[in-house]
Amino acid sequence: MTNDIQPQGNIHISKQTIATIAFQAVQRSYGVVGLAPKNIVDGLTNALVKDPTHGIDVEYRNDLINIDLYIIIEYGTRIKSVAASVANTVRYQVEKTLGLPVNEINVHVQGLRISNSD
Amino acid sequence: MSDGRPETRPQVIDGPYFSRLIKASLTWLKTNQEAVNALNVFPVPDGDTGTNMVLTLQAAYDEIEKTSQDSVGRLAEKLAHGALMGARGNSGVILSQIWRGFSKGIGKIEVLDGQSLVHGLTQARETAYKGVVRPVEGTILTVCKDSASAAEDALQNTNDPYEIIHEVTEAAHRSVERTPELLDVLKEAGVVDAGGKGLLCIFQGMVRYMNNQPLDVAPVSVKPLSSIGKQEAQNAAEPGQDYEVIVDFRPYNPLNLEDFYSDLEEMGTSIQVGEGDGIYRMHIHVPTDKRYEPIDYTMSLGSISKVHIENLMEQVEGQEDPDITDEPLKLTTVEPGQIAVVAVSPGSGFTRIFASLGAAAIVEGGQTMNPSTQELLAAFENLPTDRVVILPNNKNIIMAAESAAELTVKNVRVIPTKTLPQGLSAMLRLIPGQEMDEVVQEMEEAVQEVESGAITTAVRTVEIEGIKINRGEIIALHNGSLVSSADNLKDGCLSFLDAADADQYELITLFYGENISKGAATDMADLIREHYPDQIIELQYGGQPHYQFIISIE
């Protein structure tokens, strides 16, 4: 939970909430065609529990929000640009929605999807 | 760009011509780069869509610059490769996908005909849409899709690639205009999609090249009719251009703006052209002996409905204002131990008013030029007293004032005045010899007793708190919050007074800004007197920039 001290009490925001915002942003990011489990155990868990935000890890470290994205990129796009762009989009959307700064966004490109035959 | 266009065009596009078309696209995109950048609505780091698209297309063109003798198929392949390698930002990535699809769609052809052009564009559409899970409509993707559909339609009637490019460009233009309907963020910001506009520029560049139109001159902008008037012209009076001429006319034929501008430039300066409902308004400053020339010239283009000629030198002389004097400013000298007031003022008029009320130091600053903590410190550090009150008079300056208070050994108190009327109201309570706590308390009470208004012109089209504001409209702020938008100053002032319940108070003071003449301000005061016969109306020169009027009600 991340805490924001308010005069009338505290506001708690779960990691799941942030992951959902990030998920929506990733889906609209050009060049990203999917999210991937970060390891086999994760993949198995996800096969059992249908988690809409698999592939997105949110962590709080010393009151800072860190987000890890595990993505699949469309083959034929410039990976560096797509990765930079998805990080920007996620940061913008999360910060806009929460009103809290995001410390770090790490993009892990887990694979490429080849949809054209060239 | 007149080199090498064949007199009678063959029905195909060969390699050299294809590469010249791409160069034209790049040039035209560069010409419009800043205009495209200005459309960006997301303040994200890769937000310079125009720049990103230029860099991407430049990288693509670099690949073919030296090999323009190749086949079109081979050139497109190289373009796609270059765009991929050079893709910058989101729009750049999409553009590279479009080129990749185009290259794949046309295949290994020698020359481009209508059929293969359409294959290229439809494949570009497919490829572009494959790159995203949930495509957002109202973006470059939509423009790409609509362009490809237009190409398919055009192919029913012609196999001429030149004609198809024309059709595609027109469809792209309509599609760009439609983007705000599809995407709310665009509509709220009052802009079209930047990436879509960039793609349109690429098509337009080709069409302009085919039509022998210039590529390095940005299209002249036409302002809304209401934004062109005499007021802004007065500031621009320059020696030798003694007459201001404004002509309203309805052109017989569609106006070629570039020719129109260049003809006018030969006559005078400060040229502005506005349009509304088919009527054009032309504004120009000309020397005395040429004062009828713009009228004769406009008459040759259309039927004139209104002419306005004014001698600017008269205007400038008439503007001399008893309130605006060159007398040196006289600040109050404080004795050791007395309370000194430091006031922040945005204009010469306010500076004089604060000085006359007993301010010991004035720091210049306001809405768009906030003074730094250092400047505030410097204003009172050398005063011969250790008791200081700061009036920031703007909510953006309160913080700097508080930092200044912390950085000094003097006893400094900040009265959090957010507006100038609040500052003046607080100033009136100053008794230099009194106890600090009492003065501060008196001043803080005074701040509560005044209503502040500000009247200004909107610099862009937005929607705030449910009120739709068009660029150039007059907006009224009550204690910093927007209360209304209006077509003219009169309605703006009256709507503010109404919102602030001015009829419940005794005194209404109008402070007119640097861009309002004394005459116009007097007229406004008279008008308010008619509407508020029970209140005392005062008029003062404030000299503030941006705000036509600052109004205090107490």
Partner-chain residue, chosen from B43, B46, B93, that has the shortest CB–CB distance to A31: B93
**pLDDT score, position B356:** 85
Cβ–Cβ contact A33 with B under 8 A: yes
CATH class of B339-434: alpha beta
Inter-chain residue contact B131 with A33, CB threshold 8 Å: yes
**pLDDT score, position B325:** 52
At B510-550, the pLDDT tens digits run: 999 888 888 888 889 988 988 888 888 888 888 888 888 99
**pLDDT score, position B302:** 85
**C-beta of residue A76 within 8 angstroms of C-beta of residue B100:** yes
Percent pLDDT > 70 in chain B is 88
**C-beta of residue B389 within 8 angstroms of C-beta of residue B341:** yes
User: Which residues in chain B are contacts of A77 at CB distance < 8 A?
Assistant: 84, 87, 93, 96-97, 131
Residues B223-311: name the CATH superfamily.
ACT domain (3.30.70.260)
**pLDDT score, position B143:** 96
Inter-chain residue contact A115 with B130, CB threshold 8 Å: yes
**pLDDT score, position B49:** 87
- For residue A61, give every residue at least 6 positions away whose Cβ sits within 8 Å of its Cβ, in sequence order, or none: A103
Cβ–Cβ contact B125 with A under 8 A: no
**pLDDT score, position A40:** 60
In chain A, the domains with their CATH numbers are 8-113 (3.30.70.1350)
CA distances from B165 to B40, B92, B153, B399 (A): 27, 22, 12, 57
Cβ–Cβ contact A77 with B under 8 A: yes
Give the chain A residue nearest B83 (alpha carbons): A78
Average pLDDT (B396-412) is: 83
Partner-chain residue, chosen from A27, A34, A88, that has the shortest CB–CB distance to B46: A88
**What whole-number distance in Å separates Cα of residue B352 and Cα of residue B330?**
8
What ranges do the domains of chain B cover?
15-210, 223-311, 339-434, 451-553
Interface A-B: count of C-beta contacts within 8 A: 75
User: Which residues in chain B are contacts of A74 at CB distance < 8 A?
Assistant: 97, 130-131
CA distance B288 to chain A (A): 56
Average pLDDT (B231-253) is: 66
**pLDDT score, position B327:** 61
Partner-chain residue, chosen from B93, B130, B136, that has the shortest CB–CB distance to A85: B93
Q: Is B296 helix (H, G, I), strand (E, B) or coil?
A: helix
Cβ–Cβ contact B42 with A under 8 A: yes
Cβ–Cβ contact A96 with B under 8 A: no
At B320-354, the pLDDT tens digits run: 444 455 566 777 788 888 899 999 998 888 888 88
At B266-321, the pLDDT tens digits run: 888 777 776 666 677 787 888 888 888 888 888 888 888 778 787 776 655 444 44
Give the DSSP H or E segment for B538: strand B536-541
Average pLDDT (B98-124) is: 94
**pLDDT score, position A50:** 53
Residue B29 has pLDDT above 70, yes or no: yes
CA distance B6 to chain A (A): 35
**pLDDT score, position B22:** 95
Q: Can you spell out the DSSP letters for chain A? A: -EEEEETTEEEEE-HHHHHHHHHHHHHTSTTEEEE--SSHHHHHHHHHS--TTTTEEEEEETTEEEEEEEEEEETTS-HHHHHHHHHHHHHHHHHHHH-S-EEEEEEEEEEEE--S--
At B446-468, the pLDDT tens digits run: 898 899 999 988 777 777 667 77
The confidence band for B232, taking pLDDT boundaries of 50, 70 and 90, is very low
**pLDDT score, position B238:** 55
**What whole-number distance in Å separates Cα of residue B92 and Cα of residue B113?**
27
Inter-chain residue contact A78 with B96, CB threshold 8 Å: yes
Residue A98 has pLDDT above 60, yes or no: yes
CA distance B37 to chain A (A): 17
Averaged confidence pLDDT in chain B:
83
Inter-chain residue contact A28 with B46, CB threshold 8 Å: no
**What whole-number distance in Å separates Cα of residue B309 and Cα of residue B516?**
20
Partner-chain residue, chosen from A74, A76, A88, that has the shortest CB–CB distance to B45: A88
Inter-chain residue contact B133 with A27, CB threshold 8 Å: yes
The confidence band for B367, taking pLDDT boundaries of 50, 70 and 90, is low
Cβ–Cβ contact A4 with B under 8 A: no
Radius of gyration, CA atoms only, chain A:
15
Average pLDDT (B34-56) is: 76
**pLDDT score, position B224:** 40
User: Which residues in chain B are contacts of A93 at CB distance < 8 A?
Assistant: none
Q: What is the 3-state secondary structure (H, E, C) of B433-474?
A: CCCHHHHHHHHHHHHHCCEEEEEEECCCCEEECCEEECCCCE
CA distance B447 to chain A (A): 25
Give the chain A residue nearest B42 (alpha carbons): A92
User: Which residues in chain A are contacts of B85 at CB distance < 8 A?
Assistant: 78
CATH number of the B451-553 domain: 3.30.1180
**pLDDT score, position B435:** 87
Structure token pair of residue B64: 């073919």
Residue B432 has pLDDT above 50, yes or no: yes
Residue B551 has pLDDT above 90, yes or no: yes
Residue A36 has pLDDT above 90, yes or no: no
Give the chain A residue nearest B88 (alpha carbons): A81
CA distance A32 to chain B (A): 6
Give the chain A residue nearest B103 (alpha carbons): A118
Partner-chain residue, chosen from B46, B86, B131, that has the shortest CB–CB distance to A84: B46
Averaged confidence pLDDT in chain A:
81
CA distance B431 to chain A (A): 37
- Which residues pair with residue B311 across a beta bridge? B243
**pLDDT score, position A43:** 58
The confidence band for A41, taking pLDDT boundaries of 50, 70 and 90, is low
pTM > 0.80: no
**What whole-number distance in Å separates Cα of residue B415 and Cα of residue A114?**
65
**pLDDT score, position A101:** 86
Inter-chain residue contact B93 with A88, CB threshold 8 Å: no
Q: Which of A99-113, B2-16, B71-85 has the lowest mean pLDDT?
A: B2-16
**What whole-number distance in Å separates Cα of residue A83 and Cα of residue B345?**
48
Percent pLDDT > 90 in chain B is 32
Inter-chain residue contact B93 with A89, CB threshold 8 Å: no
Q: Kindly indicate whether the domain formed by B15-210 is annotated with CATH number 3.10.20.90.
A: no
B269-276 and B223-224 beta bridge pairing: parallel
Partner-chain residue, chosen from A74, A81, A92, that has the shortest CB–CB distance to B87: A81
At B47-96, the pLDDT tens digits run: 688 888 999 999 999 999 888 778 999 999 999 999 988 888 888 889 99
Average pLDDT (B414-427) is: 91
Output the CA angle A56-A60-A65, nearest 5 degrees. Answer: 70
At B172-225, the pLDDT tens digits run: 999 999 998 998 888 887 788 999 999 999 999 999 999 988 887 655 444 444
Q: What is the ipTM of this complex?
A: 0.70
- The one-letter amino acid code at A33 reads V
- Which residues pair with residue B468 across a beta bridge? B463
Residue B45 has pLDDT above 50, yes or no: no
**pLDDT score, position B275:** 67
